[in-house]
Structure 1
Amino acid sequence: MTNDILNNKSILITGGTGSLGRALTKYLLENHPAIKRLVIYSRDEQKQFQMAQEYPESQYACMRYFIGDIRDYERLKRALNGIDYVIHAAAMKHVHIAEYNPDECVKTNVGGAENVIRASLETNVERVVALSTDKACAPINLYGATKLTSDKLFIAANKIKGNRKVRFSVVRYGNVMGSNGSVIPFFLKKRAEGVLPITDPNMTRFNITLLEGVKMVLHALETAWGGELFVPKIPSYKITDVASAIGPECEQRIIGVRPGEKIHEEMITSSDSFTTYDLGKYYAILPQVPVWNINDYINFFKAEKVKPGFRYSSDSNEEWVNVDAIKMLIETTFISRLY
């Protein structure tokens, strides 16, 4: 950041012991040493214990670890006392588990989002960035539907903030390379068996690295006016190319699409195109009725409106990573696992 808005600020990350939460913590500690307080809020005590071994409060004075569930409003409100910025990463995210446990998914992803918004308003938080997913775009599964609902809640929160200076925004991106439960670590474990299960040979996905995800969150934290849904310009890959990069000698066995799974993912639908702007490195889907002047926003960011009917989908993407590029990314991300 050119003008570091994180100096002397207190930041709370919900779901802070997850893949992105840990990556954010590492990046913030290394690049923003003037942070006042960094609070890791999650319900998994074992992961907090492990994270505290890596980033002990005795060595990192800004670190705090707070056991809590976003479904518990009072606990969350207490945790947000004195917090300036919130990064909302907590979610129930496994598609097939959400399909089998729908009520639990709704409680966490929708009820939890409402709690984050209410608690942020009550404690005078200044900025909130909520993490979304490509599965929230034209969703066909419950996970995607709950995350779309969450997105709408955070965007609409800008209309109910009154005279508070808080800004709510959302970042939406594709599969995070190396995150817990993602395909690459799964294939790395399966490689020794000589068979890599492929749901559908035509399947494509967007790909973003953890570092790119971190930088996007911080970009939204710094630049959002409130109500934007940011989408990165990132490449796609074919699931068969990922399998070939990890296990070139392995059999690729077709097992069929799992419940609630898409063959291709979208991040911007043609219906979104009428309020979508190209900001350079990112797209931004703007609220239909923003709380600021749209022309001021366009002029400030030199934003260009996309063509009507534009859609951003993993199968029609202009940028792709091939087998060799995937190998290089994997070796960079998982080098300790490969050698």
Structure 2
Amino acid sequence: MDLNGKTILVTGGTGSFGSRFIDRLLAEHDPKAIRVYSRDELKQFEMQRRIGDDPRLRYLIGDIRDLPRLERATKGVDVIIHAAAMKQVPACEYNPFEAVQTNVLGAENIVSAALTNEVPIVLALSTDKAVNPVNLYGATKLCMEKIVVQGNAYAGDVASRFACVRYGNVVGSRGSVVPIFKAQAKTGKLTITDERMTRFWITLDGAVDFVLAALDSMGGGEIFIPKIPSMRVTDIADALAPDAEIEITGIRPGEKLHEVMITEDESRHSIEQAERFVILPEYASWPTVEHEGTTPPVGYRYSSDNNTEWLGVEDLREWADDVTAAV
């Protein structure tokens, strides 16, 4: 999608993804304006100080729970990238309705504001935690996906189209294992919940690339899933602190041994392409686009333990060294 001359709203614009996405937009494209929508004035101030006075940036204080504010923020917008969320699993468990208000009702507000202002393109960020969720964070992101996909049905004669991307753990994002292990390495002891654990891994720039690619091909109602490598948590520990003592603490509440990005049921209405999967909407009452690809085998399940691509210790060291601290 040609983003030159477009007005783009990024919710959660001061978060890990939002910051990197905005940096890339400014460096590689020439948007008319980027509206940075978030509720933390300090992070906005720090972003403005880091980037400088770029006339294309607009800093909007606001919460996605606030529909009137979103309606004002989305007026005249061409593209919405919805990255705002409560994503820390313990915080969501301890404050369940706060997570619902942000991740579920906030998603509904995004859809409503986009339809009111006839925003052509809305792309929302999801997570592998939304698949067969075992914690509230995952459950709210599953609801978010359903709301965004079915937003196309509410559009009617409005030209707005909605889709999602779903990917795994982001290297270097706030709360990810890399900065945690790097900090623990200084003490000589790393804590691992279970040595059998595996995870999908993607870099921030990889996530940005994937979102940009999804914008190019979305027609409305798709969930795009990248083909990304898996890693063993013990390998990342060896990569970052090979001489550290390992303490096994046990799986935390709401945590899985392995993550899943496509279930057996979802694979029935998915297609596989060279670098990604596309889950097609099951109940599309709106015009859709045709995506070329092959149908996964019957019963196919894309999980972090049955992946065909793995990162070894040396790969993980290289990835970790390339990751800068999240803004």
Same fold (TM over 0.5): yes
Aligned to 1:304: 294
Match of 1:23 among 20, 23, 26: 20
| Mapping of residues 218-297 of structure 1, within 5 Å | 218-291=212-285, 297=290
Name the CA distance, whole Å, in 2 between partners of 1:94 and 1:289.
31
The answer to whether residue 131 in structure 2 is matched with residue 134 in structure 1 is: no
| Mapping of residues 1-339 of structure 1, within 5 Å | 4-33=1-30, 35-56=31-52, 58=53, 60-291=54-285, 297=290, 301-334=291-324
- The one-letter code of the counterpart of 1:102 is P
Name the CA distance, whole Å, in 2 between partners of 1:196 and 1:233.
29
Name the CA distance, whole Å, in 2 between partners of 1:104 and 1:152.
19
Name the CA distance, whole Å, in 2 between partners of 1:290 and 1:274.
15
Quote the offset at 1:65 in angstroms. 0.5
Partner SS, residue 163 of structure 1:
coil
Q: Does the Cα contact within 8 Å between 1:96 and 1:258 map onto a contact in 2? A: no
> Is 119-128 or 285-294 further displaced after alignment?
285-294
Q: What's the RMSD between the two structures over aligned residues?
A: 1.4
Q: Does the Cα contact within 8 Å between 1:172 and 1:230 map onto a contact in 2? A: yes
Quote the offset at 1:193 in angstroms. 0.6
Quote the offset at 1:174 in angstroms. 0.2
Name the CA distance, whole Å, in 2 between partners of 1:108 and 1:129.
17
Q: Does the Cα contact within 8 Å between 2:153 and 2:286 map onto a contact in 1? A: no
> Is 201-210 or 280-289 further displaced after alignment?
280-289
Quote the offset at 1:218 in angstroms. 1.1
- The one-letter code of the counterpart of 2:23 is K
Name the CA distance, whole Å, in 1 between partners of 2:45 and 2:252.
34
Q: Show CA shifts across 1:116-152 (max 9, x none).
A: 0000000110100000000001111110000000000
- The one-letter code of the counterpart of 1:69 is D
Quote the offset at 1:279 in angstroms. 2.2
Partner SS, residue 142 of structure 2:
helix
Partner SS, residue 268 of structure 2:
helix
- Number of equivalences: 326
Q: Does the Cα contact within 8 Å between 1:55 and 1:63 map onto a contact in 2? A: no
Quote the offset at 1:90 in angstroms. 0.3
- The one-letter code of the counterpart of 1:322 is G
Name the CA distance, whole Å, in 2 between partners of 1:273 and 1:330.
32
Q: Does the Cα contact within 8 Å between 1:13 and 1:40 map onto a contact in 2? A: yes
Quote the offset at 1:194 in angstroms. 0.6
Summarize the Cα distance change of 1:8–1:291 in structure 2 as closer, same or farther, 3 Å threshold.
farther
Quote the offset at 1:289 in angstroms. 2.5
- The one-letter code of the counterpart of 1:42 is S
Identity of aligned residues (%): 48
Q: Does the Cα contact within 8 Å between 1:99 and 1:259 map onto a contact in 2? A: no
Partner SS, residue 327 of structure 1:
helix
- The one-letter code of the counterpart of 1:254 is I
- The one-letter code of the counterpart of 1:39 is R
Partner SS, residue 304 of structure 1:
coil
Name the CA distance, whole Å, in 2 between partners of 1:302 and 1:286.
12
Q: Give the unaligned 5+ runs of structure 1.
A: none
Partner SS, residue 65 of structure 1:
strand
Name the CA distance, whole Å, in 2 between partners of 1:200 and 1:302.
39
Name the CA distance, whole Å, in 2 between partners of 1:160 and 1:302.
26
**TM-score of the aligned structures, taking structure 1 as reference length:** 0.94
Partner SS, residue 42 of structure 2:
helix
Partner SS, residue 13 of structure 1:
strand
Q: Give the unaligned 5+ runs of structure 2.
A: none
